A = this chain, B = another copy of it.
Amino acid sequence: MHTVVEALRAALPPHAVATDPETLERLSHDDAEWADFGLPAAVVFASSVDDVVAAVRVAAAHGVPVVPRGAGTGLSGGANATTGCLVLSLERMTRIIEVDAAERYAVAEAGVLNDDLRRHVAGHGLWYPPDPASQAISTLGGNVATNAGGICCVKYGVTRDYVIGLTVVLADGSVAKLGRTTAKGVTGYDLTGLFVGSEGTLGIVVDVTVKLRPLAGREERAVVGYFRTLTDAGRAVAAVSEAGIVPSALELIDRTCLHAVAQWQGWDLPEEANALLLAKVDEPGARGDELAAAVETLFRHAGGSRVERAADPDEVERLFAARRLAYPALERLGPVLTEDVCVPRGAVPEMLARIEAAARDAGVVIANIAHAGDGNLHPLIIAPEGDDAAKARAKEAFDRIVDDCRALGGTVTGEHGVGLLKLPGAAAELSPTVLRLHRAIKDALDPAGILNPGKAFPNGA
Residues of A near any B CB (own CB < 8 A): 100-104, 125, 146-147, 149, 153-154, 157-158, 160-161, 170, 174-178, 180-191, 193-194, 196-198, 202, 213-217, 238, 241-246, 283-287, 290, 342-346, 371, 373-376, 409-418, 422, 425-426, 429-431, 433-434, 437-438, 440-441, 443-445, 456-457
Contact = CB atoms under 8 A, between A and B. Distances in A.
Given A176-B431, A189-B456, A246-B214, A183 B443 contact: no
Contacts of A161: 157, 161
Contact of A413 (B175, B187, B440): B187
A147 B186 CA distance: 7
B456 A344 contact: no
A33 B246 CA distance: 42
Contact of A176 (B160, B216, B343, B433): B433
Q: Which of A184, A345, A410 has the most CB of B within 10 A?
A: A184
Given A186-B147, A190-B196, A287-B283, A346 B415 contact: no
A182 B433 contact: no
Contact of A433 (B154, B174, B371, B438): B174
8 contacts: A103-B345, A103-B346, A181-B409, A183-B373, A185-B342, A185-B413, A189-B438, A283-B287
A176 B437 contact: yes
Contact of A434 (B176, B245, B374, B438): B176
Give the number of times this chain occurs in the complex, counting copies.
2
Contacts of A437: 170, 176, 189, 191, 445
Nearest to A287: B287
Nearest to A345: B103
B186 A457 contact: no
A448 to B, nearest CB: 14
Contacts of A174: 433
A438 B184 contact: no
Contact of A241 (B104, B178, B193, B445): B104
Contact of A344 (B103, B176, B438, B457): B103
Contacts of A410: 182
A160 B185 CA distance: 11
A175 B103 CA distance: 41
Q: Which of A161, A344, A422 has the most CB of B within 10 A?
A: A344
A236 to B, nearest CB: 14
Contact of A244 (B125, B180, B444): B125
B184 A190 contact: no
A357 to B, nearest CB: 21
Contacts of A217: 244-246
A259 to B, nearest CB: 27
Given A170-B433, A177-B431, A244-B216, A345 B286 contact: no
A425 B409 CA distance: 43
A308 B190 CA distance: 40
A187 B149 CA distance: 13
A124 to B, nearest CB: 11
A344 to B, nearest CB: 5
Contacts of A434: 176-178, 188, 191
Nearest to A344: B103
Given A193-B190, A217-B244, A183 B102 contact: no
Given A102-B345, A193-B194, A244-B125, A146 B177 contact: no
A457 B188 contact: yes
Contacts of A100: 344
A186 B417 contact: yes
The 5 closest A-B pairs by CB, nearest first: A214-B244, A216-B244, A444-B444, A185-B411, A193-B193
Contacts of A214: 241, 244-246
